Amino acid sequence: MYNKNKKTWGLALAALTSATLLSGCSSAFDWLASRNLDTPDGVTEVNGLRADVTIRRDDYGVPFIEADSLHDLAFGIGYAMAEDRLAQMVSMNLLARGRLSEMTGELALDMDIYMRTLNIPQVIESRYQALTPELKNLLQRFADGVNAYQDAHADRLPMELVINGYTPESWQPSNTLGLFVLLNLGVGFNLHEELAFLQMAEKFGTEKAAYLAPVYPDEPIDFAEADKLAGVNLAGAVSGQLSYLQQVADKLSTLTGNGIAASNNWGVAATNTQGGKTLVANDTHLLLSQPSTWILMGVKSPEYSGVGITLPGIPAIVAGYNGHIGWGETMVMADTQDIFLEQLRTRDGQREYLYQGEWYPLQKRSETIRVKGADDVVMEVESTRHGPLLNPAITGQPKHEMIAIPYQSEYGLALSWTAQFEDDTIGSFFNLGKAKTMDEAEKALNGVGFIHLNVIYGNEDNVAWQVTGNYPQRKQGSGHFPSPGWSGEYDWQGYWGGENTPRVRNPQSGLLGTGNNRTVEPGYSPVLTSSWYYPERSERIMQMLKAQPKHSRESMQAMQADRKDILVAKVQELWATGPWLQMIDNALADMPEAQRVKAERVLGSIRAFDGEMAEDSASAAIWGGFEHTLLREIFIDDIGSDDSQLWSALMALNGRAYSGYQDHLLGRTTPAGDWAPFWDDATTAEVEDPGQIIVRAAAATWDYLTALQGQDSQHWQWGKMAFYHWKTETTHMLPYLDPVKAMVVGKLAEYTDRGPYPAGGNRNTLNVAGYDLGSDYEVWNIPAMRMIVDFSQPEPLQLVIAGGQSGNPASPHYDDGIDLWLSRVNRSLPLNSDEAVSSHFTSVRTLKSSSQ
């Protein structure tokens, strides 16, 4: 049987454990990290170049790589990227391939099982094999650059790898495809919503559970989708599996931002700008992590040039400016994953599933996972025509007790995912970077099938919005909630996308903007999604764009810094209407005097609040505290406990799409005209109305804030509650470690992590600060970059990321970007002028072929 205590992190970790725990300082970590640093100037000899490659760096360590050919440019990108983020690249590649346990031990085993179940290693390889020879050559040259750096630093690898006792393999060209797969998982949400809905439906029934996953404020509750499961007995059917899957999803989200609603972008036509040229702005909302998700880069060769952001491991600009076109992205919130409930049985030793009245054998494949410090784990993955069963199914020895959950019912959970459809996403992104005209950019975006984005792009005279991605065509239903697999009624019939996705160029208003909102009319068919994000950010974008006739990069920057929550004004307007005003007044009149005084203070503050979620604002603290207590007052009587898996599922629903909480708050009623069902307190005999729950939450808010910040409400501040904390992937795993390892990682975190810093904003503000509403105020969803392209300027691009360029804690560029990001001011990155590039990127390293 498997022994948890058998695992080890290797001799390096043992030595560092002793040094750090006994000394109580970070000197050992600093020594180890410093060994990996190189000076940014000089000449470095490498094998494989046709001509010299120049890697310039600026005051924040941002590289600008120049070469005489794309062949050598890709090599230089690989070398520079490995210097900045090798450890991050290695860990993300292992995660994508379901091999992270090889480096970290059983801590990552459940995540590896999940990735293998989805068959992601095969997805990666099949997509790589479909690439053109030119793209394969590009990725090979990038890999050569990564490996040249790795070989030159074999005796002084990044600290994270040394601590784990892990020597990485040579970088493979196909690894880049794995990072695109992770990006796809990170921008896919509906799988999480479907898992959460099943848990809610098991508890409350499908009709009541549907109120926890509304589509949009102006659309009816999706009873039609929920009715698919109305005749299915979910009681106890999948609870064990769902709990496990939700735990794995939660752990994955700490590393990848899986399921985060990401980003704002907008464009202003030349006729609407002070400079007479187009403006494009973008801020992607991703996981707050250290190092940042994004990496900055400038590149230049005869075939390919640009400045912008990319992911470590991808040798192409993902968003930025190429000298002709500027572009940025947000999530569509696409529904590209469907769960099918499958009826299962075992007959004569053969496992089967039911489909249209007949039983079919489950398809099976075996996966072997190497686990550091333990025996290999052999797992068997079963699949139906709808995809792999997500239910954990591990065979062989040893079985890990946390993973080996036996089938507890007749139901399996099969996943259909658009990963099965062929596309040319990586080639299309590369072509987008090369595009010189709007038509070329549109054609490139037509080929982006695997990632589902709202892209706003432009040149100096034009601006456009375009949706990317391949979307499933379903026989019936929208895919919002899980479907019975046995009937065949909800099967996929191929896909649509490409040149048929929604788009517009040069709208009459001259204004474009998205914020993960519904961008098409209700009922749009085929379905993009039913999981749009809260509408307030997109509404605020258009509100600010329309507020002045002519815009500039300064007004774009002000929009990116904006922290006004316009939900407050909606609530104020609603509460001023007769029925709501009467409900609240009646409920106040029924309260004991001491409680009524507290409630009136809170409600008075909210009614006078301008919605500015500034760090030093007492009114913002009261609003934030009220939302915390109101959510709990509405739902916790039904959920039962805030430490339950059901509560975690509610948190997932509330934080990642338009939620039942906000839908209740904005006045949702039933078809019969009653208030939405969760307003009623399930622990009492009477039926409460919203006014009673609101005043109860208001009084509780006063007590809650007093306990947090003291008696003097004049000194309450939002930034004393909401905070940013830059944490490494290792620190994020602390809740899952045993006490000894947690002690070591805690010591390491003192060296690697930065913060906390007071935060402003919330989930509804353009300068987003997403946290688990109703749980705590640690901000995990932030603008991971802020970009403005002002075509009226000689050097149009302004860009920052949420952190430093380097992943090495000993580097000055590990955290120097944090203060810049907190300032909410962008900085220019030149491309067009050789003189501007040379004066900005002043440190110069030359990669010289050792064969020259």
Q: What is the pLDDT of residues 377-391, one digit of tens each?
A: 999 999 999 999 987
475: left (phi over 0), alpha (psi -120 to 50) or beta: alpha
Tell me which residue has tokens 């919002």.
480
The C-alpha angle 314, 316, 319, rounded to 5 degrees, equals 105
- As a whole-number percent, the residues of the chain with pLDDT over 90 amount to 80
Specify the higher pLDDT residue, 20 or 212: 212
Tens-place pLDDT, residues 613-655: 999 999 999 999 999 999 999 999 999 889 888 888 898 788 7
Give pLDDT, residue 397: 34
Closest CA to 693 of 622, 590, 578: 590
Q: How far apart are CA 122 and CA 124, in angstroms?
A: 5
Give pLDDT, residue 653: 82
Q: How far apart are CA 569 and CA 540, in angstroms?
A: 12
Tell me which residue has tokens 């939302």.
627
Looking at the predicted structure, is the pLDDT value of residue 12 above 70? no
Name 620's Cβ contacts closer than 8 Å, sequence gap at least 6: 609, 612, 613, 614, 717, 718, 760
> What is the total count of domains within the chain?
1
- What average pLDDT does the segment 248-252 reach? 67
Return the minimum-mean-pLDDT range out of 52-56, 384-388, 656-660, 799-803: 656-660
Specify the higher pLDDT residue, 567 or 6: 567
Contact status, residue 333 vs residue 261, Cβ threshold 8 Å: yes
pLDDT band at 196 (very low <50, low <70, confident <90, very high): confident
Nearest 5°: phi and psi at 75? -60, -45
Name 324's Cβ contacts closer than 8 Å, sequence gap at least 6: 435, 436, 437, 459
Give pLDDT, residue 686: 95
- What average pLDDT does the segment 403-422 reach? 69
Give pLDDT, residue 2: 30
Give pLDDT, residue 180: 86
- What average pLDDT does the segment 319-332 reach? 97
- What average pLDDT does the segment 482-491 reach? 96
Q: How far apart are CA 157 and CA 501, in angstroms?
A: 45
Tokens describing residue 673: 């005209």
Amino acid at residue number 485: G
DSSP secondary structure code for residue 766 in this structure: S
Contact status, residue 566 vs residue 611, Cβ threshold 8 Å: yes
Amino acid at residue number 4: K
Residue 52 lies in a domain: no
Q: How far apart are CA 48 and CA 145, in angstroms?
A: 9
pLDDT band at 357 (very low <50, low <70, confident <90, very high): very high
Annotate 606-645 with b (16+ C-beta within 10 A) or e (fewer): beebebbbbbebbbbbbbbbbbbbbbbbbbbbbbeeeeeb
Closest CA to 637 of 677, 687, 697, 681: 681
In the residue annotation, 27 being an active-site residue is answered as no
Closest CA to 562 of 283, 279, 239, 321: 283
Looking at the predicted structure, is the pLDDT value of residue 96 above 50? yes
Tens-place pLDDT, residues 541-581: 999 999 999 999 999 999 999 999 999 999 999 999 999 99
Residue 578 lies in a domain: yes
282 forms bridges with which residues in the sheet? 265, 787
Residue 676 lies in a domain: yes
Nearest 5°: phi and psi at 398? -85, 155
Tens-place pLDDT, residues 798-828: 999 999 999 999 999 999 999 999 999 999 9
Give pLDDT, residue 410: 66
- What average pLDDT does the segment 335-355 reach? 93
Tens-place pLDDT, residues 721-739: 999 999 998 898 888 788 8
Residue 434 lies in a domain: no
Closest CA to 286 of 822, 784, 764: 784
Return the minimum-mean-pLDDT range out of 255-264, 308-317, 351-360, 577-586: 255-264
Q: How far apart, in Å, are the Cα atoms of 494 and each of 418, 502, 635?
A: 9, 19, 39
Give pLDDT, residue 395: 36
Give pLDDT, residue 404: 29
Give pLDDT, residue 182: 84
Q: How far apart are CA 289 and CA 781, in angstroms?
A: 9
Give pLDDT, residue 220: 97
Select which of 101, 174, 263, 289 is catalytic: 263
Report the run of H or E that residue 774 belongs to, with start and end: none
pTM over 0.85: yes
- Does a cis peptide bond (omega within 30 degrees of 0) precede residue 812? no
Residue 73 lies in a domain: no
Contact status, residue 177 vs residue 128, Cβ threshold 8 Å: yes
pLDDT band at 9 (very low <50, low <70, confident <90, very high): very low
pLDDT band at 181 (very low <50, low <70, confident <90, very high): confident
Residue 693 lies in a domain: yes
Q: How far apart, in Å, are the Cα atoms of 392 and each of 110, 122, 123, 415, 778?
A: 9, 19, 20, 13, 31
Q: How far apart are CA 493 and CA 473, in angstroms?
A: 5
Specify the higher pLDDT residue, 736 or 583: 583
Looking at the predicted structure, is the pLDDT value of residue 432 above 50? yes
The C-alpha angle 785, 789, 790, rounded to 5 degrees, equals 145
Give pLDDT, residue 543: 98
Contact status, residue 517 vs residue 533, Cβ threshold 8 Å: yes
Residue 668 lies in a domain: yes
Residue 381 lies in a domain: no
Closest CA to 339 of 502, 201, 542, 133: 201
Give SS3 for 848: strand
Looking at the predicted structure, is the pLDDT value of residue 214 above 70? yes
Tell me which residue has tokens 């000993």.
810
Q: How far apart, in Å, are the Cα atoms of 734 and each of 260, 570, 778, 803, 828?
A: 21, 40, 15, 21, 37
- Mean of per-residue pLDDT scores for the chain: 91
For β-strands 503-505 and 358-361, DSSP reports them as unpaired
pLDDT band at 711 (very low <50, low <70, confident <90, very high): very high
Contact status, residue 484 vs residue 228, Cβ threshold 8 Å: yes
Q: Read out DSSP for 191-205? A: HHHHHHHHHHHHHH-
Tens-place pLDDT, residues 125-176: 999 999 999 999 999 999 999 999 999 999 999 999 999 999 999 999 999 9
Tokens describing residue 151: 């070989």
Which structural domain range is residue 588 located in? 567-610+616-721
